[in-house]
A and B are shown apart, each in its own frame.
Chain A
């Protein structure tokens, strides 16, 4: 069975500092990996995904994620955080042949002035 772990319930960072939101996964075979963001009272918005190829994936709003196969990780990063980045972030995984998208429990990102 596939699974996703987001080890931090909350991440706090000062505006202007780099941010990292961690995600590790478990699937059989090669994974497809996704990051979504949820702003208060809104649905989930797609940020970026890893399919194959370059391990560094660039997405919306200046976010990027690094795929590391040996560590089975897909951490979300941004070089300089903004207060408006404060939101709930979800990592998700699907295996190569599967039709099921499995989500992590989410990480609340709080960016303070």
Chain B
């Protein structure tokens, strides 16, 4: 089944404790992206990757890191999480970045930073 998977689905952590949220897709997509969803703000893009070893900042990259060493994986790293990073996070992928390509989303990771 074609899908985007994320792990973990739920995470409670404390301020300053490094964490990684994994994202994997099995559709051989070139483009992958991370979003955060907050009430009243919709989805905002954190980082995106056009292909392996090519990443760039989205609208809200502060406090986050990403890497794209393999085509299928695009982990999101919070080096020193803070309470304002409490949010619902989505990974998405598409065949390529632009045009009419549809992005397919993972199930989401709900993060609480205490």
Chain A residues packing against B (C-beta within 8 Å): 6, 9, 32, 34, 36, 41-46, 49, 51, 90, 94, 96-101, 103-106
> Contact: A46 with B104, CB < 8 Å?
yes
The smallest C-beta distance from A22 to any residue of chain B, in angstroms, reads 15
Known contacts A34-B102, A46-B104, A106-B42; 11 further A-B pairs (Cβ under 8 A): A43-B4, A43-B90, A43-B105, A44-B43, A44-B90, A44-B105, A96-B99, A98-B98, A103-B35, A103-B42, A105-B42
Cβ of B103: which chain A residues have Cβ within 8 Å of it?
46, 101
Partner of B42, one of A46, A90, A97, A100: A90
Cβ of B33: which chain A residues have Cβ within 8 Å of it?
101
Size of the B side of the interface (Cβ < 8 Å), in residues, is 26
What separation, in Å, do the CA atoms of A47 and B99 have in the docked complex? 17
> Contact: B42 with A49, CB < 8 Å?
no
> Contact: B102 with A49, CB < 8 Å?
yes
Cβ of B108: which chain A residues have Cβ within 8 Å of it?
41-43
The smallest C-beta distance from A29 to any residue of chain B, in angstroms, reads 12
Cβ of A106: which chain B residues have Cβ within 8 Å of it?
42
9 of the cross-chain contacts (CB-CB < 8 Å) are A36-B105, A42-B107, A43-B106, A44-B105, A96-B99, A98-B98, A99-B98, A100-B45, A101-B45
| Nearest CB in chain B to that of A6: its residue | B42
Partner of A105, one of B41, B102, B106: B41
Residues of chain B in range 33-81 having any CB-CB distance to chain A below 8 Å: 33, 35, 40-45, 48, 50, 58
B84 at the interface (CB under 8 A from A): no
What separation, in Å, do the CA atoms of A98 and B48 have in the docked complex? 13
> Contact: B99 with A103, CB < 8 Å?
no
